[in-house]
Chains A and B, each alone.
Chain A
Amino acid sequence: MQGESLSFIFLNAAIINNFVLAMFLGICPFLGVSAKLKTAGSMGAATLLVMLISSACAYGLNYLLVEFELEFLRLISYIAVIASSVQLVEMVMKRFSPALFRALGIFLPLITTNCAILGVALFQTTHEFNLVQSLVYSFGAGVGFTIALVLMAGLREKLELSDVPTVSSGLVMSLMLAGLLSLSFMGFAGLGGH
């Protein structure tokens, strides 16, 4: 995978193999935080930031682990890195934008258990990306996550005004919407050109 261009890596992570709609990573926040457009946008941005930091850290960490032949510790160390970068983002946000910090509330620490972030760290290792490629990949993944979240939030805001049968309200309707969204994203599959 060394020969892939940076723009392709970005497009691939953001749209063609969208992390939420094609690879099913980060479904929990996707269904949990997508009720309002505004929070969805800031949640996406926070996740993007954590992804970038943890991707860079994971790259350095993996280099060390391979050097000392400690690959079996990969999972544990990645999780630790992600948990600490979430803490970092939380502190920075509290300092510079207290309003946003309050709006995201409980969902901020929960970014730790967002599988999209661990997924980025693991996939960049299996693809053997170098540092720049890893960063572009995680940026693409974060953008893709934000796109999916914002689209879903827009749909759900409209849904609140419509008359849905009570038997299918709530999670059922969200899942059906997500299915339709995912169906439309399959249209981008041809962009890959494989």
Chain B
Amino acid sequence: MDSKQTPITMDTFLAQVWRDNPVFVMALGMCPVLAVTSSATNGLAMGIASTFVLIGSNLLVSMLRKLIPKQVRIATYIVIIATFVTMVDYILQAMAPAIYAALGAFIQLIVVNCIILGRAEAYASKNGVLASVVNGAGTGAGFTLALLLLGGVREILGAGTLFGIDLFGPHFQPWLVMILPPGGFFALGAWLLLFSWLKQRKTRRAELKGEPLHAG
């Protein structure tokens, strides 16, 4: 199963951040993405917490990959992930009570984030320790990037602030719906729309460039 080791390149990290972004491209882990991004700060905190769990679980799964029997691997991964989530839960409770209160149950719900289980199953169980950690960090960075993009847009439009700093002065009329639940769906939909439009434009341009060659 893990006979061939893929070399660690920048791509191990970067592919997860952009090309295979867990949220925008793979559409995984939607629940925390929509629920905690009412402000950029919450999004960032959630991203960092998830990154920690990703790196930790990838590290442990990769270290134990030869010991875990195939039949019970999913259960084992879940227990490993739950352990790290419990750690994050208690650390945040002790060190950042305000953020803990804002994120609420969603810290504990990192356990059922399919991104983390997906990485453990698809990458860490087949690759070396260092590669898995790098890949986990990349996935975490991509997830954090998505949370920041979404949280930033929603906070700017819905409250007129970014990271709690006032942007538009007192006369700004906040677009309240953006920080309410429907705003999450709309903002994510709009980001996906932008990405799919950019992709379509790129393919169309490539086609236009390619055409004269085919005709000739």
Q: Which of A144-194 contact B (CB under 8 A)?
A: 166-168, 171-173, 175-176, 178-180, 182-183, 186
Q: Is B31 a contact of A115 with CB atoms below 8 Å?
A: yes
Q: Are B109 and A176 in contact (CB under 8 A)?
A: no
In the bound complex, how far is the Cα of B109 from the Cα of A76, in angstroms?
Answer: 11
A27-B30, A183-B177 in contact; A119/B105 too (CB < 8 A)?
A: yes
Chain B CB within 10 Å, residue with most, of A21, A166, A173, A182 = A182
Q: Is A130 an interface residue (CB 8 A)?
A: no
- Chain B interface residue count, CB cutoff 8 Å, equals 39
Contacts of A63 in B (CB 8 A): none
What is the number of residues of chain A that contact chain B, defined by CB distance less than 8 Å? 38
For B114, the chain A residues whose CB sits under 8 A away are 28, 113
| Chain B residues near A (Cβ < 8 Å) | 27-28, 30-32, 34-35, 75, 78-79, 82-83, 85-86, 89-90, 105, 108-109, 111-114, 117, 177, 180-186, 188-189, 192-193, 196-197, 200
18 contacts between A and B (CB under 8 A): A22-B181, A24-B32, A27-B34, A75-B82, A75-B85, A75-B89, A79-B111, A80-B75, A113-B117, A115-B112, A122-B108, A167-B193, A172-B189, A173-B189, A179-B182, A179-B184, A179-B186, A186-B180
* 10 interchain residue pairs of minimum CB distance: A179-B185, A175-B189, A24-B35, A27-B30, A183-B182, A182-B182, A76-B82, A179-B186, A24-B34, A115-B112
